[in-house]
């Protein structure tokens, strides 16, 4: 079982690297997560997909907060 966990961590690492360096992938993750993952050849388990969704949603929430704060600060 330990070997499987390592392989799956490698998949999540690959997703992270793609998100950092491939603009098309990054855009696709926000526009069509499942379709983008399929086009890039990823097949995630339900648990992994939930982790990826949670990370993406947390990133969007943090970005929205930063934008809101920038707008609020600019108005001062």
E strand or H helix that includes residue 40: none
Global model pTM greater than 0.85: no
Instruction: Give the pLDDT confidence score for residue 62 in this predicted structure.
Output: 85
CA-based nearest residue to 24, from 8, 37, 11: 37
Q: What is the mean pLDDT of the chain?
A: 86
CA atoms within 13 A on the CB side of 13: 6
What value does the mean pLDDT take over residues 39-63? 90
Separation of alpha carbons 61 and 68, rounded Å: 10
Phi first, then psi: what are they for 58, rounded to 5°? -65, -40
Q: Other CB atoms closer than 10 Å to residue 52's CB: what's the count?
A: 21
């Amino acid at each position: 079982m330990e070997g499987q966990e390592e392989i799956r961590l490698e998949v999540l690492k690959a997703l992270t690297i793609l998100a950092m360096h491939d603009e098309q992938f990054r855009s696709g993750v926000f526009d069509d997560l499942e379709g983008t993952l399929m086009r890039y050849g990823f097949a995630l388990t339900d648990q992994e997909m939930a982790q990826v969704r949670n990370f993406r949603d947390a990133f969007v929430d943090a970005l929205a907060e930063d934008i809101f704060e920038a707008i609020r600060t600019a108005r001062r």
